[in-house]
Amino acid sequence: MIYFDNSATTKPYREVLDSFIKVSGNFFGNPSSLHSLGAASEKLLTRSRQQIAELLQVKESEVLFTSGGTEGNNLAIKGTALMHAKRGKHIITTAVEHPSVIEAFEQLSEEFDFDVTYLPVDSAGRIAVQDLLHSIRTDTILVSVMHVNNEVGALQPIEEIGKLLAEYPKILFHVDYVQGAGKVPLDIKKSQIDLLTLSAHKFHGLKGSGVLYIRDGVHISPLFSGGSQESRFRSGTENVAGIVAMAKALRMSMEQRDKGIPKLLNIKNSSGKGWGR
Ligand SMILES: Cc1ncc(COP(=O)(O)O)c(C=O)c1O
């Protein structure tokens, strides 16, 4: 069987599963506990955060663990809206986002009186940066644009958008990087991104783990009240085994990326010539 549904989810790497099982069995302490089992779990969490920060070329303090893409997107968008509503209630996204973005915007519009601009896309599925420029207002607080589209694979001009938004330092820039992570490189710092979402099961990690990158100095409201984990942005006991497995999956998928893309192109190019020959 050739599995062709990697945009929906990917098969976990064998090594990722092995890490998950090992950590679940041997490091079951709560990382917030003060005893030695807790400290051992916390050490793994810290190491995973360092590894992920290094792979994404960001700071360790900017990596927050979540349950995946849906949570990361909701936290970035609603967290920004809740924190900055007094400054402005205009938010911008595109017409082609994943439902975890589109429906968060719809809820903010319908229930909390935010004014939303949905940027249109051209026949290649891309927005025009000029359209974004023309939609910016004095009360705009957030722009959310996905990197790779989950249905047609269109790539948005993230670096160009970041450059434009750098002229508007009060507008936060969120990127849904769920489909691109581990496959299509993105320079987070150069693109001047404030918030960025990843989900482990899209790069051969496990379902139920993700990352929200929050640039140092950016303030958003948490959506969960609780034990103040993840720098108070995301309360809830961390999924240590899933996070260790995610760090491994991100490293492996980035290492495989350069080999995998020529292989995929080869399959794509041979698809018109008939299978099974
Ligand atoms: C672009 C995009 N964003 C967000 C998500 C949601 O991620 P998760 O399944 O981890 O909640 C998906 C999943 O299909 C996606 O493709």
Q: Which atom of ligand 1 is nearest to the CA of 207?
A: 10
Ligand 1 within 6 A of CB of 72: no
- Pocket probe mutation, ligand 1, options 147, 150, 196, max atoms within 8 Å of Cβ: 150
Please report, rounded to a whole number, the percentage of residues in the chain having pLDDT higher than 90.
91
Mean pLDDT of 134-140: 98
Q: Is 205 left (phi over 0), alpha (psi -120 to 50) or beta?
A: beta
Least confident range from 2-11, 14-23, 177-186, 268-277: namely 268-277
33 CA to middle of ligand 1, Å?
32
99 CA to middle of ligand 1, Å?
8
* pLDDT for residue 267 is more than 90: no
Mean pLDDT of 97-116: 98
Instruction: Kindly report the protein residue whose alpha carbon is nearest to atom 5 of ligand 1.
Output: 69
Q: Tell me the pTM.
A: 0.95
240 CA to middle of ligand 1, Å?
21
Task: Give the pLDDT score at 276.
Answer: 39
* pLDDT for residue 95 is more than 80: yes
CATH topology (fold) of 14-267: Aspartate Aminotransferase; domain 2 (3.40.640)
The DSSP code sequence of the chain is -----TTT--PPPHHHHHHHHHHHHH--S-TT-SSHHHHHHHHHHHHHHHHHHHHHTS-GGGEEEES-HHHHHHHHHHHHHHHHTTT--EEEEETT--HHHHHHHHHHHHHH--EEEEE---TTS---HHHHHHH--TTEEEEEEESB-TTT-PBP-HHHHHHHHTT-TTSEEEEE-TTTTTTS---TTTTT-SEEEEEGGGTTS-TT-EEEEE-TT-----S--SS-TGGGTS-S---HHHHHHHHHHHHHHHHHHHHHHHHHHHHHHHGGG-S--
- Pocket probe mutation, ligand 1, options 9, 94, 100, max atoms within 8 Å of Cβ: 100
Mean pLDDT of 187-192: 98
* pLDDT for residue 271 is more than 80: no
* pLDDT for residue 260 is more than 90: no
* pLDDT for residue 239 is more than 90: yes
Task: Give the pLDDT score at 50.
Answer: 98
Instruction: Kindly report the protein residue whose alpha carbon is nearest to atom 14 of ligand 1.
Output: 8
Ligand 1 within 6 A of CB of 66: no
Task: Give the pLDDT score at 265.
Answer: 81
Give me 188's structure tokens.
């987070």
Q: Tokens 């017409």 — which residue?
A: 95
Contact in structure between 90 and 117 (CB atoms under 8 Å): yes
Task: Give the pLDDT score at 273.
Answer: 57
Ligand 1 within 6 A of CB of 146: yes
16 CA to middle of ligand 1, Å?
20
Mean pLDDT of 188-216: 98
Domain ranges of the chain: 14-267
Q: What is the mean pLDDT of the chain?
A: 96
57 CA to middle of ligand 1, Å?
22
* pLDDT for residue 141 is more than 70: yes
Task: Give the pLDDT score at 272.
Answer: 62
